[in-house]
Structure 1
Amino acid sequence: MSEDMDLAMEDKLRESGLRPTRQRIALAELLFAKGDRHLTVEELHEEAVTAGVPVSLATVYNTLHQFTEARMIRVLAVEGSKTYFDTNTSDHHHFFVEDTNEVLDFPEGNVTIDCLPTPPQGMEIAHVDVVVRLRRKTS
């Protein structure tokens, strides 16, 4: 990765309240270099290994959760044991393609959600996640 990108990721990490360690910078570069995307811990780990970044699966897991707590990314739980991390932190919804385990963003403006319940006292709705599961038609 370029030195300019390193500095940009260092700034992004600092602005999010995280110390810019070498591994965090490398993982952030891999995560954000390709625009908005949805990744699992295992997928980012595989990208890191392929890119020659010496990092364990546990470190990738911990780093993604730190990025989530810092609101740099958001968690998207679509499949029982599989968690995806979304680099697009805006309010938006998803399709989940069951046979390929692919997560896709809804086209903007396609969903309207009315009549949400009133949250309990002292609570507020952070965001609403709609996941529509898709599968190939069988004729």
Structure 2
Amino acid sequence: MTQTRGADIERPDTRDLLQGVGLRPTRQRVALASMLFGEQDRHIAAEDLHRQAVDNGIPVSLATVYNTLHQFTEAGLLRILAVEGQRTYFDTNTSDHHHFFFEDTAEVMDVPDGAVTVDNLPAPPEGMEIANVDVVIRLRPARKTRR
């Protein structure tokens, strides 16, 4: 039953997606990719994806989830977003864009396109180029003002 639930998660185009970027579509890669690249963009930590996989009956270790996420990143399918010191998020939207980070829930959300402009960037050191600029706007619930 466990394998059936995991197999049911597969999206029809997932194997093609993985092969298109040079990754062998193993059962675990296909299952994780199917969860990641659903209908909408996602920001997810490895621990959360692991929990989701286990909940869906996919037998996968946390180490395999980490390795797979890094393989997907190297293949250009994901973008790494470091928001908190110990927690890294993987973003399925690989375009240049910025993020809100909700400190109380550890949720990450895209900032609407065009809402942030970054000007006056320094010239990179010789032999280097700017790959992208990440702006993370940290949010917390508004504090009540005293009267």
User: Same fold by TM (over 0.5)?
Assistant: yes
- Aligned letter for 1:124? E
**TM-score (structure 1 length as normaliser):** 0.95
Give unpaired runs (5+ residues) of structure 1: none
> Superposition pairs for residues 12-23 of structure 1, below 5 Å?
12-23=17-28
- What SS does the aligned partner of 2:81 have? strand
Aligned length: 137
Q: 2:116 aligned to 111, 121, 124, which one?
A: 111
- Mapped pair 1:123 → 2:128: yes
Q: 1:46 aligned to 51, 62, 72, which one?
A: 51
Distance 1:2 1:71, change over 3 A: same
The alpha-carbon deviation at position 46 of structure 1 amounts to: 0.8
> Superposition pairs for residues 24-35 of structure 1, below 5 Å?
24-35=29-40
The aligned counterpart of 2:81 is 76
The aligned counterpart of 2:67 is 62
Q: 1:92 aligned to 97, 100, 111, which one?
A: 97
- Bigger-Rg structure (1/2): 2
C-alpha distance in 1, partners of 2:85/2:39? 27
Given that 2:99 and 2:135 are in contact with CA atoms closer than 8 Å, whether structure 1 keeps it comes out as yes
**TM-score (structure 2 length as normaliser):** 0.90
C-alpha distance in 2, partners of 1:91/1:78? 16
- What SS does the aligned partner of 1:133 have? strand
The alpha-carbon deviation at position 33 of structure 1 amounts to: 1.4
Percent identical across equivalent pairs?
65
Q: CA RMSD in A?
A: 1.1
- What SS does the aligned partner of 1:79 have? coil
C-alpha distance in 1, partners of 2:39/2:70? 20
Give unpaired runs (5+ residues) of structure 2: 1-7
C-alpha distance in 2, partners of 1:94/1:22? 32
The aligned counterpart of 2:14 is 9
Runs of 4+ in 1 over 4 A off after TM superposition: none
